[in-house]
């Protein structure tokens, strides 16, 4: 018996909405990652992109456990002298709440050719309103 390989025409992408209000960042990031990779589907295959679309609302109200809201620091370097930047979690959540969830999900996805395509299907909004209401048809 051969292993089932889904064809592009057979791939059906669903839409999922996740409310981040009061939820732990790492917990919702793993849920988002499983939807983006398609691990929730029986036809999951590592080398194919069969994941779904994910819409995250209330990103500005996501929380972290412990003292991470004061201690967690996001670091990056441009590669130039003096190009090292540090931003605390609380400051980044205030200024760019989308980046907090995007960074967490990006770190959980595999670093391969499919990563960019999967991240493109992630739609993050800091408030409750979003333009994808017609995609859900009354289901999650």
Q: Can you give the pLDDT at residue 1?
A: 79
Closest alpha carbon to 25 in 67, 71, 62, 70: 62
Q: Can you give the pLDDT at residue 43?
A: 87
Instruction: Check if the beta carbon of residue 95 is closer than 8 Å to that of residue 10.
Output: no
Give every residue of the chain whose pLDDT is below 70, as ranges: 137-140
Prediction pTM value:
0.91
The count of residues in the chain is 140
Q: Which CATH superfamily is domain 13-128 in?
A: Ribosomal protein L13 (3.90.1180.10)
Other beta carbons within 10 Å of 36: 26
Q: Can you give the pLDDT at residue 54?
A: 97
pLDDT in tens, 81-111: 999 999 999 999 999 999 999 999 999 999 9
Domain boundaries, the chain: 13-128
Instruction: Check if the beta carbon of residue 57 is closer than 8 Å to that of residue 17.
Output: yes
Q: How far apart are CA 124 and CA 87, in angstroms?
A: 20
């Amino acid at each position: 018996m051969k292993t089932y390989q889904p064809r592009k025409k057979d791939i059906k992408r669903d839409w999922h909405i996740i409310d981040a209000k009061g939820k732990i960042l790492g917990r919702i990031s793993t849920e988002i990652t499983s939807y983006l990779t398609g691990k929730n589907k029986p036809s999951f295959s590592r080398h194919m992109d069969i994941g779904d679309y994910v819409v995250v609302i209330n990103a500005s109200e996501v929380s972290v456990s412990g003292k991470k809201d004061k201690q967690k620091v996001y670091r990056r370097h441009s590669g130039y002298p003096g190009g090292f930047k540090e931003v605390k979690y609380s400051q980044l959540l205030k200024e760019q709440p989308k980046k907090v969830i995007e960074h967490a999900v990006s770190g959980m996805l595999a670093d391969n050719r499919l990563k960019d395509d999967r991240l493109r299907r992630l739609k993050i909004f800091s408030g409750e309103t979003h333009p994808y209401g017609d995609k859900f048809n009354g289901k999650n």
